[in-house]
Amino acid sequence: MTTTTQKKSRPMATGSVALGGPFRLLATVCRNVMNRGKVSELAQLSDRQLRDVGLKRFDVTGALSTDLLTDPCDIIQQTHRRRIR
């Protein structure tokens, strides 16, 4: 005969729910800043190299000109998908 035990879940503290938004926003900004660094590496490529991967120089500069709440990698991906269709 086997017995099982059930864990009772504890309710979340009210303060942690209220702080979820700012922490999520901070995490988004941090991720976007890191991705901005990766996209800026694309800016170091020549125009020919960018063409080889299906991008143009203004795609990269346009993605880097977005605000910190916008992921530049998403902009690059969307541009690339539109172009290969």
Query: Which own/partner contact pairs does 78-81 have at CB distance under 8 Å and 24+ positions apart?
Result: 79/55, 80/53, 80/54, 80/55
Q: Is the pLDDT of residue 3 over 80?
A: no
Give the pLDDT confidence of 29-73 residue by residue, as tens digits: 999 999 999 999 999 999 999 999 889 999 999 999 999 999 999
Give 9's DSSP letter: P
Confidence of residue 5 (pLDDT cuts 50, 70, 90): low
Contacts of 9 (CB under 8 A, 6+ apart): none
Measure the CA–CA gap between 85 and 62, rounded to whole angstroms.
20
Measure the CA–CA gap between 73 and 40, rounded to whole angstroms.
10
pTM of the model: 0.68
Mean pLDDT of the region 2-22: 57
